[in-house]
Amino acid sequence: YRSEDLPPLQTAFDDSPGLGGRITKPSNDLKLRCTEFDEGGNVVLVNGEFRKHELIAKYSLLPRDLRKIDSSVLPHILVRPSAILLNLLHIRCLIKYNRVLVFDVYGSTDSYAQSLFMYDLEGKLRQKQTSTTAGGALPYEFRALEAVLISVTTGLESEFEGVRDPVMRVLRELEEDIDRDKLRHLLVYSKKLSTFEQRARLVRDAIDNLLEEDDDLQDMYLTEKAQGVVREEDNHEEVELLLESYHKVADEIVQISSNLVTSIKNTEEIIRAILDANRNALMLLDLKFSILTLGTTVGMFIAALYGMNLENFIEETSFGFAGISGLCTVLAIASTIWGLKRLRKVQKVRMWGDGGSMIQSRSDRHRLPARGPQKELEGSGSEPRGLGEAVTGIKGREAIKQWRIEQAARAKQLKMARMEAAGQPVVRG
């Protein structure tokens, strides 16, 4: 693995919002610039300026409608009596039954997607009666709406493809080796993917909210309303099918991106657990060295006492050196073994403490084997190793106690019956 195999970080650390990203500004300007398409799909006005109050009066809008189009970065699909307003990612437009106004997006970072949308919109609007469906020709406003949805979903798919490939590559490489550079790239891609998922989710929710409103779906038939045709409230199958098809695409993108975010979180948790295990192993190794040092120090303490320049007359004996050396060695080994045993005991993770009922007492482990029904109830008599086995052991001991009580009652009844048969007085408690 080489760090140069990954894409440069200056693009990954870029703070630009990506698809449809735009920089919000205070909306103090009283004019909006837009490009206008006529009924035949021809561009009749490029970068034309309209005053806001003129748009409000001409298309029967509300001031808050233009605020959602001009300054809001959240996706919106607004249906008004004579127009449809859309604010989806890099597209902001107003659709009439015979006109489409595409507003210029201030600070947009995706001019290529906008140019592609303009070309596709022009082609859709020029189809006129040649584009037919099962129910007839698509009206003008639905062709414009379809062009907007195609551009939005295509942009989401292309952006997701650009984010998914490097994320999958980093995840595969982390399975083989955990490296600092890989973790840094994973952090960057995780942030970009979370931002993309949130944006795709907002687009899907905007379409879903529109599908829940029957009144808005009915009002979207602008051509029929201009011709004076009255449509029933629940008769909006064409636009509903159109919206549902692109809602399905957006929902699929959201689900796949959510699964990828979950995979990143699971990988981070596993890496965290591995690092914790490695840290614990290093701490355990340090404790073992400390215990070994303690054992050596205990042995050296005796040698230090006899190494002082004091008369103890042990140096005159023939076994003094060997005896003191052996004693120091034994003390050092004994101290080391004791410390390692205590460390091993601390390492054991138990649900209950040493005094809990999960651990059998020494007298229970060394008692004589049972016979008859008691043996069947006690089983093998081995120490429980898990919570399930511990609960089974507790139930077994309760059953043994109940069996003993029943056996005592039966023995008492048998003794009383024998006394009655022998004619002896019986005292019943």
pLDDT along the chain (429 residues), means of 10: 46 43 51 85 84 82 81 84 89 90 68 80 75 62 92 91 89 84 88 92 93 90 87 84 93 93 89 87 88 85 72 71 82 87 74 46 44 44 47 64 80 79 65
In 3D space, the residue among 20, 36, 206 whose CA is nearest the CA of residue 118 turns out to be 36
The two tokens of residue 236 are: 């909006």
Rounded Cα distance, 34 and 54, in Å:
13
Instruction: Give the amino acid at 33.
Output: R
The two tokens of residue 122 are: 């022009």
Q: Which residues, including other chains, have CB under 8 Å from residue 65's CB and lie 6 or more apart?
A: 56, 78, 80, 85
Q: What is the pLDDT of residue 49?
A: 82
pTM for the whole structure: 0.64
Question: Which residue is listed with tokens 């957006």?
Answer: 250
Q: What is the pLDDT of residue 180?
A: 85
Question: Which residue is listed with tokens 């879903």?
Answer: 208
The two tokens of residue 402 are: 């109940």
Sheet holding 31-37, edge to edge: 43-51, 31-37, 100-103, 91-95, 83-88, 76-80
- Asked if residue 109 lies in contact with residue 16, where contact means CB atoms within 8 angstroms, the answer is yes
Q: What is the pLDDT of residue 148?
A: 93
Rounded Cα distance, 140 and 282, in Å:
71
Partners of 107 in the β-ladder = none
Q: How many CB atoms lie within 10 A of CB 38?
A: 13
In 3D space, the residue among 28, 245, 23 whose CA is nearest the CA of residue 138 turns out to be 245
Q: Which residues, including other chains, have CB under 8 Å from residue 142's CB and lie 6 or more apart?
A: 220, 238, 239, 242
